[in-house]
Structure 1
Amino acid sequence: MGSYKPVAGSVSCTECPANSRTSSEGSKLCECRSGYYRAHTDVNTTACTSPPSAPVSLSWEYESSEGGVSLRWRPPADMGGRSEVWYGVVCRICPSATNMPPSMCSWCGDTVTVSPSQTGLKQTRVTLKNLLTRVTYLIQVQAINEVSALSPFPPQFASINFTTSQSVPSEVPMLHQLNRVHDSITLSWPQPDRPNGDILEYQLRYYDKGSDEDSAISVFSETNTVTVGGLIPGSIYAFQIRARNERGYGPYSHTIYFSTLAMEEQSKQIQNRLPLMIGSVMGGAAFLLVVIAIIIVFVFRSKRRESPYSDRLQRYISNRGGVKYYVDPSTYEDPSEAVKEFAQEIDPAHLKIEEVISAAQFGEVSRGRYRPLGRREVLVAVKTLRWGVTDREKNVFLSEAGVLGQFDHPNVLKLEGVITRTPPERIITEFMENGPLDAFLRENEDQFSVLQLVGMVRGVGAGMRYLSERNFVHRDLAARNVLVNSNLVCKVSDFGLSRLMRGLDHNMPTYTASLGSKIPVRWTAPEAFQHRKFSSASDVWSFGILMWEVMSYGERPYWDMSNQEVMKAVVDQYRLPAPNGCPPALHSLMLQCWQADRQDRPGFDSLLSSLDRLIRHPASLKAEHSRPSQPLLSPTPTDLSTVTTVGDWLTALKMDRYKDAFERAQYLSLERVSMLTMEDVQALGVNLLGHQRKIVNAAKQLRTHLTQGHVEV
């Protein structure tokens, strides 16, 4: 006892390595003593080791330049007999009373960011950002090594608490150009994400792009709008802005360039507006003639036979509250009549197609340039109907133009016109440089501030309010059906499933879908997929899902659940949880959109008011709210019951393509894989953001699985 002999033969017995023992004679290996372990990468002839002790000398200091708190510590005094050590940072918010136990503190959540990382740290310094002012924080720094996951006890940690004071405002996130003429530019901007108190004033500085930054001129404003005058026509100027509170000025924003109009360009604008002014006068006269014609129709209604389109025309022109109601092209006996009525015919000679950019249901989509008479050339998207389609497919294709032509709103895709008199038939719309919203967000993950994301959501909401006011239900509102232009303006598009709302059901106009129609289940309200009842309230439900998509940077709603599982979960009152980094106030708004009774859901007008309040007061995006009444769903976990190797784990994740990369990087044990961070995954050569996120989340799940498994043993 006390020695071992791994193989038979004349070799002598060997004394057990440190922290190990044998309990009987003739032992082939030495077992680790209580509290000591061998990692899966350790061979049986090595000493047993233990988790490290807590880090030492933990301290903090406020960093005015970073707008956060810097934490420093030294490595543990006892490394547990091993050379490697990693650190993890745990953040809690505590009541202001002193000597509060950790159990009285709540988790910081994703509002506080830890740079460079919160887990898997090799260095002994981090910076905490996005801290609230006048709040007490409890910070714990854990020490972990290869055998920490084998211990039934939590890692050792050092803790420290501090209370933040009011600091200067954070950076103003963006500048918008509202107007420009030859000698002035009008700018607007949102409040900083973290004002840290009342904003007293803003300082805007600017200089000619060709000049030195030292020549900058400053303008001060107590509001978030200012007009800068005395500028040179046709010149480019650089602008920066910063905010001031009681503690002083925050950092300047990034430099943004805007240009004044050249004198000849301004003259052209005036000339271009002149026909519009004349047209407005002529249009007013024409409108009066139409009104007179309608009165005549009413007077002589009993004396002449009605036109088959008279009810529809009167409903369209009738101004109930000054709103023109949408006319469903499907109500026309010949849908091409709706296209003639609502869409402008374009001369093909004014259209130049440059390149095909994607395929569509009935043909292809191209980028082109359209230059109508008397107007400047504009970029356009051209949908072309393919040869050999049926009359029904042609009518469905053109009906989108009959829908779009009735709308005129900054957040609804603009129809330029159609080509129907010469084949192939084409629909021409404004060109949206950044494409569909979901793909755009996935390509630019974590590149926008919360305020910018809320601004995108607000734009979609404004477009939907406009549509709902016209008794119009979209039925397929989702991030994939919203397009984004170069200025990040979001516009509602793709009206393939849209319909006019008919009838009155408890004062709510409703559309009933036919049994054969397709329904996008993940975005659809329960009354819609159960009873096929669509209304503005079902569009509000879809808007809530779209908000979730935006805040999760294009994540698939309900992840890998099947449509049947989604429907069952929704009917059982389960709802999507807040995405990572999503402000509680915004998730609360989503949950309001997902009320089971459609009468309880807010209207688009109310949603827009709520979003505007959040934009005007960004600090409210960090406010806590009560626990949601509905149970929240989580992503479907990976089945780890049969996973014994790294290869098995990657197969369960459907990530077999990365097996060679894991082997080359010596990730040969599940314990090591469970400690993966985003930086580690990127170093492995995993370039797709969705795959990076999936692997890191699965590593966290694996870490929990391994820890729980050893506790049970």
Structure 2
Amino acid sequence: MCPPNSRTSHEGSSVCECRSGFYRAAGDANSSACTTPPSAPVSLSWEYESGDGGGVSLRWRPPVDMGGRSEVWYGVVCRICPSPSITNPASCSWCGEGVTFSPVQTNLKQTSVTLNNLLTRVTYLIQVQAMNEVSALSPFPARYTSINFTTSQSVPSTVPMMHQLSRAPDSITLSWPQPDRPNGDILEYQLRYFDKASDVDSAVSVYSETNTLTVGSLIAGSIYAFQIRARNERGFGPFSNTVYFTTLPLEEHSQQVQNQLPLLVGSVMGGAAFLLVVAAIVVVVVFRSKRRASPYSDRLQRYISNRGGVKYYVDPSTYEDPSEAVKEFAREIESTHLKIEEVIGSAQFGEVSRGRYRPPGRRELLVAVKTLRLGASDREKSMFLSEAGVLGQFDHPNVLKLEGVITRVPSARIITEFMENGPLDSFLRENEGQFSVLQLVGMLRGVGAGMRYLSERNFVHRDLAARNVLVNSNLVCKVSDFGLSRLMRGMDHNMPTYTASLGSKIPVRWTAPEAFQHRKFSSASDVWSFGILMWEVMSYGERPYWDMSNQEVMKAVAEQFRLPAPTGCPSALHSLMLQCWQAEREDRPSFESILSSMDRLIRHPVSLKTDIMRSCSQPLLTPTPTDFSSVSTVSDWLRALRMERYQDEFARAHLDTLDRVSRLTVEDIQNLGVNLLGHQRKIFNAAQQLKAHLTQGQVEV
């Protein structure tokens, strides 16, 4: 007699074969019953884990039908979906390796698992599969139950650091940056502090809505411990690591007061004289205002008006006398405080030197000094100093810092911070192959942060390129060279723009098509330039478009051709470049969006895994990306390219999945029998675009 779910056609047979749909595992005896894979788990539910990290706990019950076996284990599949209303699971993409599973994702013996590092306000589709020893023998996929949920806002991550701005015998003023993951608007910060000799149980808490706070009522010369955390709508994040600061000792404070006494007396007398002068000026201004308004009133009103605390850039060229902008925004420093060491280069209006600047009461700084050449005309001097009028309005760690100007001598000078590694393009060429992809993306992220800051101030750079980004000894990149920069004016499709004069020069290789065709510049044209800068960085300073002439570049760009990925450039980065090079400026991402994309790549380094090496030494340009959002088969892909006539060639080559198509090489295409060179290029470029889309999970394989 045969065991359950088995049969034989021969009487007295020693082995009974399993019926269709039933199986024996490799370790099962021939006399054992045949079994099936288990049914799906039941009662799948989810709930948020307490604490930071965006964790979600999943729980379920074992399958109702164990398939006649005692063992069972589980696997968890995670996908990200475009909207909370999931009508087509195929539109969801894999979560990637950023999401972690505790204890494990596969071969899970227990009926619960925790997902960590989930993104906020994102819809996830989770499938829990049940398997046993015979699941691998079945031609059907493991049975599963699914659930979807949308993550809510999480608490902020840890505040990364704290800085001491100043100290007194009874107080300390501290500052700190926003958390790396604020997960929404930061409502307030909680700062707690205690004497180093005590413990955290004795801590005193104070609260601040800004990232600067003065803690008072402290004891002179004492060491205090400080911790800080941020709160958003969901609650407080974790406290930061403990840092220690010391209040000013009384004897040191007394010495400072003695040293500053003559200055204080002079300041009081000078202040009295200043008030008299101001009073006289007010009288004159009131009298004159009855006759006419100040020519600067509108401009200054725009400057001092805030939207969300942001000061808007004032174009020095709008001043009747541009030197007034320099006086308003740049600090005049004494030439005796500056020491020139050596000439290190040349600029448009003179030479560039390295020097040392010792501000009163501060430590000596290493600086770069631009000097106006002798004999320069008044117009050249005005143009030379206008850059200081621009730089003096900005304060950001990724924008070159202006220390001051010297204008009371024949050879005017602009003094900025010194960037040890010089221009980004030459620095990369000198160090080709010396950095990881993650380091290169970190450099690009710095440039993007500086450009986001500038664009938020309604400012367009117009000459963004690797040559105009400087690198310091810590590999921090800073946007510089504002000679072509302008204030954006007007409204065109909700995008502020300005029109360049016909006589102005345009760096064609870095310039968006609407800019070199119609001289229309905006933050979107800076985004195009940033895409070219990304290409420069990933190719270690190679010249964009190689030896093509400017006319050839403009023609190629107008005909929708784009630069290919540099050698070793990850598809995800090249895809971001292609987004920056969209023909319609409204379709390009903002700098805010670009930074978000880069942050996701940095948080998930596996997405920056280098693809098969590709050469960018030949001028093979990639057309503007085709819309693959509705592509699900190879036939759809060929139809989107208007190349349905090659379906037979693809079928004969067994190119029947999008994944296989995305890995096509030039040699593979030549073997297809596609004889026209133009079609070979088009198919290869489209395959590269498809690969970038698949990498980002935009198309289901």
What is the TM-score of this pair, normalised by structure 1? 0.48
What is the TM-score of this pair, normalised by structure 2? 0.49
**Structure with greater contact order relative to length (CA < 8 Å, sep ≥ 6):** 1
